[in-house]
Each structure stands twice: as structure tokens, then as C-alpha cells.
């Protein structure tokens, strides 16, 4: 099981749900702890699980080993016009998908939660795995938060998509000045999912490959709405 950082509600607080929050390439579970604390949701009974990705060699970074949810083989990682031409680490993506599915099951079992009480969130590479996992998970989830990211394995999704998550809320947030994951890749990902009938909400901000303070209130309200009884 993945080692994780955990931000937990005060003792005695009724648990409303859990958010599994996945970090980006080269970071770890500590990376989003300060941002998550600013959401001010622990006293609302919401748990936050921030797992650490395995350490693997990353091709695009000269083969250097670092925390990563999958290998990135080239800078051309998304093409909605010709998804079959993209070189992706399909095995690595599916391996991390399986790890997150195990983490979901663990949260449900240990906290006696329904699948709809679980939200997947992630930044950059972590957001890609949140989308990869959430769209294929065989039980309905509470929501998917996709920060500064894109849809991996897009050509395989029509055949692999879980019918149980066709109505799961998906919130995309992206910086218009992002030079790591271009906003066009994220927007194309969101449009592809919307065209497939998913309930997609798109928000952009005048920032680079990062998160910002104005996102906090939006994310907080969205999580509370997704986990409302």
C-alpha cells in the first residue's frame, strides 16, 4: 500500500468523506499539505489522504529517478487530433491506477464509507492519474478534481470508461500561462470528456503551472457540494 500523508478531522468529528490528493512529478505527498489546510475542511469531517508516488526513472528528465506516477517519454504527451500517435507509459499509468484503486478500497473499508464519499484530486501528473482512475473505477465516486493536467490514455477511454462514473462531477482548473501542461491540452481534454457526456466544469486562471489563492474557495465549495448528503 502507498505510504501517505494524512490530514484528519478532529477526534470525535463525524466523517463526511475522503479526498485522495495526488501530487505532481518530482514532488511527494507533503507538497499540497499547506494548500489543503487552507481549504479549511477538516472540521467539516473531510479526510485528506496525500500518497507518495513511487520513485522511478523519468525519461524526459534524462532518466533521473524521482517520485512519479508514470514515466514521461516525450514532451508530446497529448494530441486530441491523433491520440494513437502519442507515446505514453501505458503500463506505468495502469500500475498507478491500480495503486489508487487499492487506496480507495482501503478508505472505504477502514472508514466505512460509500464510494460516493470518495473524491479523487490531483495536480499535473497526479491529476492525470486521478482522471485515469476515476473514469474507469467500477463504483460511483463523489468527484474528480483535475488541476493543471490532461487526460491520459484518451484513445482507450471510450472502451474502458465505467458507466458508474458517467455522471461524476469533474472540475478542471488550469493556468492560462502554463508552459508545462499547455492550457490547450487541458481544454481539449475537458472538451473531449464533455463531448462524451461527462459533467465537466472548466475554470482558468492567469497563472503558470501552479495553484493560486482564488482557487481555494471554489475547490472548497465544490468538495462540499460533491460530498453533500
Instruction: Exactly one of 71, 148, 178, 188 is catalytic; name it.
Output: 178
For residue 61, what is the domain's CATH number? Answer: 3.40.50.1820
Q: pLDDT tier at 150 (50, 70, 90 boundaries)?
A: very high
Tens-place pLDDT, residues 14-58: 999 999 999 999 999 999 999 999 999 999 999 999 999 999 999
Instruction: Exactly one of 115, 124, 154, 189 is catalytic; name it.
Output: 124
Give the pLDDT mean for 126-146.
99
Output b/e per residue, 11-24; b: 16+ Cβ within 10 A.
eeeeebbbbbbbbb
Is 209 annotated as catalytic? yes
State how many domains the chain has. 1
CB of 120 within 8 A of CB of 141? Answer: yes
For residue 75, give its domain range.
4-226
Q: pLDDT tier at 75 (50, 70, 90 boundaries)?
A: confident
Q: What is the C-alpha separation between 224 and 229, in angstroms, rounded?
A: 10
The widest CA-to-CA distance across the chain, in whole angstroms, is 52
| pLDDT over threshold 70, residue 82 | no
Instruction: Exactly one of 28, 89, 174, 209 is catalytic; name it.
Output: 209
Tens-place pLDDT, residues 57-67: 999 999 999 99
Is 178 annotated as catalytic? yes
Query: Which residues, at least 6 apart from 166, have a Cβ–Cβ distance to it below 8 Å?
Result: 197, 198
Is 124 annotated as catalytic? yes
Give this prediction's pTM.
Answer: 0.96
Amino acid at each position: 500500500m502507498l505510504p501517505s500523508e494524512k490530514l484528519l478531522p478532529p477526534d470525535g468529528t463525524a466523517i463526511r468523506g475522503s479526498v485522495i490528493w495526488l501530487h505532481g512529478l518530482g514532488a511527494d505527498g507533503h507538497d499540497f499539505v499547506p494548500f489543503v489546510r487552507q481549504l479549511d475542511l477538516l472540521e467539516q469531517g473531510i479526510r485528506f489522504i496525500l500518497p507518495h508516488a513511487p520513485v522511478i526513472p523519468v525519461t524526459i528528465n534524462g532518466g533521473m529517478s524521482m517520485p512519479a506516477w508514470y514515466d514521461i517519454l516525450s514532451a508530446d504527451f497529448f494530441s486530441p487530433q491523433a491520440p494513437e500517435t502519442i507515446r505514453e507509459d501505458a503500463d506505468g499509468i495502469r500500475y498507478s491506477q491500480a495503486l489508487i484503486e487499492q487506496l480507495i478500497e482501503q478508505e472505504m473499508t477502514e472508514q466505512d464509507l460509500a464510494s460516493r464519499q470518495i473524491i479523487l484530486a490531483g495536480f499535473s501528473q497526479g491529476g492525470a492519474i486521478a482522471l485515469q482512475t476515476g473514469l474507469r473505477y467500477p463504483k460511483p465516486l463523489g468527484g474528480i478534481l483535475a488541476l493543471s493536467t490532461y487526460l491520459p490514455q484518451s484513445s482507450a477511454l471510450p472502451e474502458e470508461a465505467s458507466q458508474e462514473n458517467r455522471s461524476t462531477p469533474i472540475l478542471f482548473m488550469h493556468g492560462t500561462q502554463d508552459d508545462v501542461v499547455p492550457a490547450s491540452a487541458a481544454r481539449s481534454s475537458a472538451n473531449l470528456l464533455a463531448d462524451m457526456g461527462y459533467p465537466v466544469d472548466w475554470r482558468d486562471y492567469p497563472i503558470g503551472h501552479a495553484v493560486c489563492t482564488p482557487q481555494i474557495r471554489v475547490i472548497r465549495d465544490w468538495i462540499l457540494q460533491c460530498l453533500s448528503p
